[in-house]
Amino acid sequence: MTDQGDEPRKPRRPAMFSPGALDAQESGLDPAEVSEVAHETAAVLVGTGRAADDPDLTRRLVSLVDELGMSTVAQLWAGRPAVSLPGALWRLYAIREWVRRDGVGVAIDYDLGRHHADVSHAVAGAAEPPSPEALRELVDAILTGVFDGDLAVALERASAFCRVVSIGRAYRADEHDGYDEESASGATRSAAQLLSTAQDLHRAAAAWRAGDLT
C-alpha cells in the first residue's frame, strides 16, 4: 500500500516526544484529548520515519524507548486500542523491551515453539539457532520495517514472533504441569497473553492494508 501522510519532509525528530511536554499536556487534558495526542504522535512518528530516507533517524526511532524510557512510551500509548496505530506501536516497543530484558527466557521459548510452528517461524524470520542476540536483532529489524519497509509486513512478523514464543511457552507449561503448578499456571497465562498480542498485531496489519489503522 502507499505511504500515508503529507508530502515528504525531514525533521530530525518528532517534537511532541519530550517527556516534560507530555507531562504538561496530560495534566490539563481530558481523556478524549489524551487519545487525540496519542494518535497524533503515533502518526507523526510513523510519517516522519517513512518520509525520511535517513538511516540514522530510523535507528533513533527504533531505539525510542532507550531515549525516553518505557514509562513515558507507556503513558503515551499503552491505553490505546490494540487495533490502532498507537496501540500497535506500543506492542512493538513493548516486545523489543521484553526481548532486551529477558533474551535468554524468550530464546528458550522461541526455540521450543519453532519446532511446532514452522509457518510462523518462517514469517518471523528468526535466525537459527534463535540465540538471545539473534532475537534482539530480529525485533530491531521488525521495528525498522515500520519506518523503511512495509508496515503491515512488520506487524505480521511481530505477530508471528509472538505466536512462536506463545506456543513454546505453552509447551513449557505442560512440562511443569503436575509437579510445579505455580510455574505451569504462570507460563499458561503468559502464553495466552502472547497469543492475544499476536492476534492483535495480525488484525492491525490487516487494518493498515485496508487504510484503517489510525
More confident residue, 29 or 118: 118
Instruction: Give the model's pLDDT for residue 204.
Output: 98
**Does pLDDT of 91 surpass 80?**
yes
Report the distance separating Cα 165 and Cα 126, nearest Å. 12
Instruction: Find which of 7-11, 135-139, 184-188 is predicted with most confidence, using mean pLDDT.
Output: 135-139
Tell me the C-alpha distance between 150 and 173, whole Å. 35
Backbone angles phi, psi at 13, to 5 degrees: -165, 155
Band (pLDDT 50/70/90 cuts) for residue 180 is: low
Least confident span in 45-54, 59-68, 181-190: 181-190
Strand locations in 117-171, DSSP E?
Answer: none
Contact 113, 107 (CB under 8 A): no
pTM reported for the whole predicted model: 0.84
Cell of 187: 507460563
pLDDT on residue 34: 86
Average pLDDT rounded to a whole number, residues 169-194: 81
End-to-end CA distance of the chain: 15
As a whole number, mean pLDDT of residues 13-40 equals: 60
